[in-house]
Amino acid sequence: MQKLIRIEPSKCIGCKTCELACSFKNVGEFMPSRTRIHNEVFLDEAKFITVTCMQCDDPWCEKACPKAAITKEMPSGVVYVDENRCVGCRTCVSACPFGMIKYVAATGKVEKCDLCAGDTPECVAFCPTQCLTLDEEDKPLRQKVLRFVNTMKDGHQEV
């Protein structure tokens, strides 16, 4: 069954430990600019919103890639970038409706969350409040997310 990172916003304290753990796992440094999960802090409202790749059912990034460097593997459902095939054209960056694929100038390639390639993701392992969990996909929740995404894509709200 497909896995995904579940985020419980009410438990998030905006500590950004998830960003640090992710960057250290993937690039060997505590470098928030190279994280694959993002925690946005809104101090005026005292809110914290964490976002990462949604491992889409039908990834737009995969469809957009002219070199077939992005693939969705089943049954895990993880969307991977093959660095050997990626030419750094950034078409996938434009295609992702959530902005979760990043171009890295230092490598000339793109990167995105791959759920730590099958291990427990570092962001989940080190989250001090357990607002992040790795879970099997919840189909009713997934349908709700897809309805929201389609509403946003179409630029109107359902009544």
pLDDT digits (tens, 9 = 90+) for 119-138: 789 999 999 999 999 987 66
Average pLDDT, the chain: 89
Residues 6+ apart with CB under 8 A from 30: 20, 23, 24
Q: How many CB atoms lie within 10 A of CB 100?
A: 20
> Structure pTM?
0.81
Q: Are 94 and 88 in contact (CB under 8 A)?
A: no
The correct CATH number of 1-53+119-145 out of 1.10.150.530, 2.60.40.2380, 3.30.70.20, 3.90.180.10 is 3.30.70.20
Distance CA 117, CA 80 (A): 9
* Domain ranges within the chain, ordered by starting residue: 1-53+119-145, 56-112
Q: Kindly state the average pLDDT of the residues 40-52.
A: 88
C-alpha of 34 from chain center: 13
Any idea which residue has 């737009």 for tokens?
60
Q: Does domain 56-112 have CATH number 3.40.1380.10?
A: no
* Structure tokens, 12: 């998030």
Closest residue by Cα to residue 134 from 34, 30, 18 = 18
